Structure 1
Amino acid sequence: MDNKYDVVVVGGGILGTFHAYHAMELGMKVCLVEKDNYPKGATTQNFGQVVPSGMNTKWQKYGRESLRIYKEIQSQFDISIRQNGTVYLASNEEEEQLLVELRAINNNNEYSSKMLTKSECLERYPGLRRDYVKAGLFFPDEVTVEPRTMIHRLQEYLVAQKGLEIKTGFLVSSCERTGSGIEVRSSMGESIFGKKVIICNGSDFKNLYPELFAQSDLEVSKLQMMQTKPQENYTLKGSILTGWSIRRYEAFYECPSYHEIKAKELPDTPQKNWGVHILFKQALDGSVILGDSHQYADAAHADDLGYDLDMDIDNFMVQEAKKIIQLPNYEIQRRWYGMYSQCKTSDIFKKIIDEDIHIVTGIGGKGMTGSAGFSKKNIAKILNR
């Protein structure tokens, strides 16, 4: 029957799409279902940075495999991948020390990086303020993507060249075992069947399994970002991460000096209260994306984060960005926020129901970087390959 599949994936974001991709790579007949007409959640509302350098040792392995997968697909079909590297810019001696230590860790892991002097940073990144930068650490293999187009191009590639079936506007109302396998039923009464069902729809799985959701330790993070007008005759290559990123990203937790340096920080600052670390990335149209902030709430109370943009946060981020890079203009043409779910006590949320229904969600801010690599290992485990 046309409505029977080896694998049904619920959720058309980056995590679900790559589970579908790797299932097809293993020869499975796959259907991907998405509740909206197209993906528009966290997968499209982020910076589009693929930065294994910012991950701890465990997840960096997934991130590096993701890089390989992204580049392999890009060689066959344009999904907006650009290999232009990532740089971390230290603003003082403590941050420079963390960069030196991270480079040693990455050398040991055989992951390429290069320390940059102050002069090299100033030469590479036009507009970078001399009174801000102390040193840099550059990762040449890392890439950027255009998040608002990448997932659509990726799915277009999978449909056209890999045979993926996608059903949009398919809001799943139930997922239960029947004599024909696992029946995935939509709110409109359409049913499809899978030998395995993988649910990757963020915190929306609460509608299917409310008790499981209530027992989970999921929380939601709200991130504010903005985009300048196009910068005339100006090029800023790659992902630019700054001193506050160095003090925030998981990779630096493994540095010997990290905890001592963090202990010296003032606890009650706008940066801390709003979870701000300043990032820059130039989009294809020449505009520059700036951000971002992090506000948290338990997933069951995500509405408490509100639906508005906090202009105090945006104004603070612009003010701090100007202390780092002097762009030709800081005229903002667009502002938005993204929401993603993550776990408080583990790095991802995984539950198995009735042996053949797998919930995989709560990947948090690791989604764009880690999903492709993690999904490869996870789907092999689910399918016993």
Structure 2
Amino acid sequence: MNKKYDLIVIGGGALGTFHAYHALQNGYSVALFEKDKEPISATVRNFGQVVPSGMDTKWQEYGRESLVIYDEIQNKFDISVRNNGSVYLASNDEEVQLIEELSVINKNNGYQSHLLTKEECLNDYPGLRSDYVKAGLFFPQEVTVEPRIMINRLREYLITEKGLDFYGNTKILGCNKIGDVVEIQTANHDVFKAGKVIICCGSEFKTLYPELFAGSDLEVTKLQMMQTKPQLGYNLKGSILTGLSIRRYEAFYECPSFAAIKAKENPDSFEKKWGVHILFKQATDGSVIIGDSHEYANAANMDDLGFDLRMDVDEFMINEAKKIIDLPSYEIQNKWFGIYSQCKNKDIFQHTIDDDIHIVTGIGGKGMTGSAGFSKENIKRIFNLS
């Protein structure tokens, strides 16, 4: 209890854990605090698709750095990384035009991608419907992870190999700078000290600084996903992103034709109302994860999103998925919703209090892809490293 750390990180999800990782890599002593036994929020409720290809130029750079970091860790400790690529499947001429334009952008960025013909797509992705796909864009460097495995194995690696001190089931109720030290107080009345504190959890942000939280531009997104029963003898490699993803992901905003194509869409369509785009990823047990939808509320009013799953959204996603890939079975074994926070007007929320308390949250849907690369740069900034 009397130990003073160089850094305390509050929030054990991907963003917080990768901040801890990079601080440890730079030789700092680090403690990581998680309000639950282990992360149960955004990090473990997503697809586990690491897809820099879907991000704008700034975040693609962070994502590409993340790929390097994932590879470095996986070579030392199994955190469930699988290098099996990502593909965007175009279903009409407009989407073909967009993937062709994105391939040029990536060529100029030095990021490897390959345009696929319809025949190549059908050969590479079993069950893909011939009446859906017209062409594809493949990113061979991209990876998938199993989110509920990855974050816990990453933390185990940091504890056993890097000297991380981890405190689970520990709610933080106070964080104050006293002299040149930051003190945090837990719900168990324990006090911990550090030179610097990074808060990477929206819940703790709200508890510790309610007025700042209420005045932020954070909003919360609720996403519905589902998982089939294991598909015996069936292999669907990598991340499968489809036409609605092409029309949604930020990377495509930089395509010359995007604005004109987007303007033609029906603003009252079901997929627009519920923010649906169809993704597939096969888990290691052979099941296929399908999703997802997007429903929004201001962070201060996140309870308005409720805890129910909308059956009409699930049914729409299944019906759309069946138009794309003929899986051996669409029998669903699990359904759930994920929650993540993002900023309305910025790409991430960052605020510094008293020089040494840093709030970093609201990374949105970029967490699994961008956290590792972003955290590397942010640790350098916070500790004034060259």
Contact kept, 8 Å, 2:185 with 2:192, in 1: the verdict is yes
Instruction: Supply the RMSD in Å over aligned alpha carbons.
Output: 0.8
Give the fraction of aligned pairs with identical amino acids, expressed as a percent.
68
Deviations along 1:20-50, whole A, 9 cap, x unmatched?
Answer: 0101111100000111111111000000000
Match of 2:186 in 1: 186
> What letter matches 1:65 in structure 2?
E
CA distance in 1, matches of 2:146, 2:177: 39
Where does residue 122 of structure 2 map in the other structure? 122
Q: Which residue of 2 aligns with 1:70?
A: 70
Q: Hey, what does 2:232 align to over in structure 1?
A: 232
C-alpha deviation, 1:217, in angstroms: 0.3
Q: Partner residue of 2:370?
A: 370
Do 1:202 and 1:340's aligned partners in 2 also have CA atoms closer than 8 Å?
Answer: no
8 Å CA contact retained: 2:10, 2:200: yes
Aligned ranges 1:148-159 → 2 under 5 Å: 148-159=148-159
1:3 deviates by: 2.6
Distance 1:354 1:143 in 2: 39
- Cα displacement string for residues 272-323 of structure 1 (whole angstroms, at most 9, x for unaligned residues): 0010000000000000000000000000010010001111100110000000
Partners of 2:26 and 2:90 in 1: how far apart?
A: 44
2:354 counterpart residue number: 354
Q: Distance in 2 between matches of 1:381 and 1:314?
A: 43
Asked if residue 209 in structure 1 is aligned to residue 174 in structure 2, the reply is no
Report the equivalent of 1:58: 58
1:31 aligned counterpart, secondary structure: strand
- Give 1:161's aligned residue: 161
The match for 1:384 is 384
Where in structure 2 are the equivalents of 1:257-272 lying within 5 Å? Answer: 257-272=257-272
Residues 344 and 8 of structure 1, relative CA distance in 2, 3 Å threshold: same
Structure 2 partner of 1:275: 275
Q: Deviations over 1:91-133 (max 9, x none)?
A: 0000000000000000001100000000000000000000000
Measure, in 1, the Cα distance between the counterparts of 2:119 and 2:324: 15
5 Å-filtered alignment, 1:331-346, equals 331-346=331-346
Question: d(CA) in 2 for partners of 1:268 and 1:109?
Answer: 35
CA-to-partner distance for each residue in 1:155-211, whole Å, 9 max, x for gaps? Answer: 000101011110111100000122461101101101100100000002441110011
Partner-residue secondary structure (3-state), 1:82 = coil
CA drift of 1:2 comes to 4.5
> Could you tell me whether the CA contact under 8 Å between 1:281 and 1:290 is conserved in 2?
yes
Q: Point out the more displaced range, 203-212 or 188-197.
A: 203-212
CA distance in 1 between counterparts of 2:378 and 2:303 reads 31
Indicate conservation of the 8 Å contact 2:53/2:139, yes or no: yes
Amino acid of the residue matched to residue 319 of structure 1? N
Q: Distance in 1 between matches of 2:183 and 2:147?
A: 32
Query: One-letter code of the match for 1:89?
Result: L
- The separation in 2 between residues aligned to 1:74 and 1:260, in whole angstroms, is 42
Query: Does 2:292 correspond to 1:305?
Result: no
- Cα distance in structure 2, aligned partners of 1:35 and 1:67: 28
Q: How far apart in 2 are the matches of 1:263 and 1:152? A: 43
Is 1:132 the equivalent of 2:135? no
Residue pair 1:203, 1:341 contacting (<8 A) in 2 also: no
Q: Is contact 1:180-1:193 (8 Å) kept?
A: no
- Checking the alignment, whether the CA contact within 8 Å between 2:172 and 2:204 is kept in structure 1 is no
Q: Is the 8 A contact 2:103 2:113 kept in 1?
A: yes
1:87 corresponds to which letter in structure 2?
Answer: V
Q: 1:38 aligns to what?
A: 38
Give distance in 2, aligned partners of 1:180 and 1:141.
44
* Distance in 2 of aligned mates of 1:204 and 1:155: 20
What letter is aligned with 1:329? S
CA distance in 2, matches of 1:314, 1:139: 28
Stretches of structure 1 lacking an aligned partner (at least 5 in a row): none
Corresponding position of 1:253: 253
**Conserved 8 A contact 1:226-1:289:** yes
Q: Aligned residue for 2:286?
A: 286
Query: Which whole-Å CA distance do the structure 2 matches of 1:255 and 1:276 have between them?
Result: 21
Q: Under a length normalisation based on structure 2, what TM-score does the superposition of the two structures give?
A: 0.99
Deviations 1:230-260 (A, max 9, x none): 1111100000000000000000000000000
Report the number of matched residues: 385
Q: Distance in 2 between matches of 1:336 and 1:79?
A: 23
C-alpha separation in 1, matches of 2:191 and 2:46? 33
